[in-house]
Amino acid sequence: MRQLSAAKTTVQTWRGLEKKATEIREMATLALEEEEHSLQDELERETKKLATQLDELELRLMMSDEYDSRNAILAIHAGAGGTESQDWADMLLRMYLRWAENHKYKTEVLDISPGEEAGTKSATVEVRGEYAYAHLKSEHGVHRLVRLSPFDADHARHTSFVLVEVLPEAEGEEDIKINPDELKIDTFRSSGPGGQHMQKTSSAVRITHIPTGIVVSCQSERSQFQNKESALKVLYARLLQYERNKREAEKARLKGKRIDAGWGSQIRSYVLHPYKMVKDHRTGHETSDTASVLDGEIDEFITAYLRSKVGEEK
């Protein structure tokens, strides 16, 4: 029913644009035949409006992969480098939360591990909304920061790395079947902020999927039940991605392609010193407005990535 409703909405949208294009064409014909200069401003205004709608729909057409319309699970992991990388992870977490807020997506921090001195060691965030995964999948990979360190007494230039993982949210048993006997569930005391209650009770949950060795944990909620539900949500997403990776690896083997796993090379560099620039190494898109990017304005990078994938063999 959900797929049928989405299909009907798509058809209605395109039929509406078809009707609007016909009206504009008739208006243009009338203006030319009768030399109605008064229609020119309205004609220009309506044409621009139609062009904007078509650009938006063109972007939506780029989001046609199987899982594109789903919610997203965003995981951020600080690389080697201690406080420097953990602070960079915290900056990226803020960037994505601001981006989601600007696009009216709902977010929930499912798990977070704070750094010893500052920043964040790792964080897992659920981003809920239509086509959340399609937008955020462009962010999957290693992000590199170059800046003068605020934690270095000599203010030397430092390079930090953070791995961002983006997973489509699985729809439970419809996507992945899990045998309860293959799960090892442990509880422990939360180590993060959250007040005395979290410290006194073993509310945090760690789940290990024994066949694959995948481990997920959640400690952001006060309730052990809520943490277990959140951890299972992330586990389903990771197992779905695990199966997708297996299929992609097999396709690549048959085609003779090489697939890089793990950290690999950075996908994007954020340079704050000696000059300001953010550059995506996959698309070549760049901007000198680093402040806006770090404040969540990453749509240009997302669009450039989606356009670069058009026509790519699935």
Is the CB of residue 190 less than 8 Å from the CB of residue 219?
yes
Residue 262 lies in a domain: no
Higher pLDDT, 99 or 6: 99
Helices (H) and strands (E) in the chain, counts: 8, 11
pLDDT band at 45 (very low <50, low <70, confident <90, very high): confident
Token readout for 251 is 């396709």
Mean pLDDT of the chain: 87
Q: What is the CATH number of the domain that holds 100?
A: 3.30.70.1660
**Full residue range of the structural domain in which residue 122 is found:** 72-169+280-309
Domains contained in the chain, number: 3
Is 207 part of any domain? yes
Whether 79 and 164 share a structural domain: yes
Give kind and range of the element (H or E) at residue 183.
strand 183-188
pLDDT above 80 for 182 = yes
Could you report the per-residue pLDDT of 105-141, keeping only the tens digit for each? 999 999 999 988 889 999 999 999 989 999 999 999 9
165 & 77 share domain: yes
> ∠ CA(286), CA(136), CA(237), 5° rounding?
150
CATH number at residue 187: 3.30.160.20
Q: What are phi and psi of 239, to 5 degrees?
A: -70, -35
**76 and 164 housed in the same domain:** yes
**CA neighbours within 13 Å on the CB side: how many for 224?**
13
Percent of the chain predicted with pLDDT > 90 = 56
- For residues 37 and 157, membership in a common domain is answered with no
What is the structure's pLDDT at 199? Answer: 45
Q: Cα angle at 155 between 154 and 161, to 5 degrees?
A: 125
> Which pLDDT belongs to residue 277?
97
Q: Are 108 and 135 members of one domain?
A: yes
Q: Which two tokens stand for residue 163?
A: 């791995």
Residue 275 in domain: no
> Rg of the chain's alpha carbons, rounded to an integer?
24
**Alpha carbon distance 299, 303 (integer Å):** 6
Task: Tell me the whole-structure pTM to 2 decimals.
Answer: 0.80
For residue 29, is it within any domain? yes
Together in a domain, 152 and 198? no
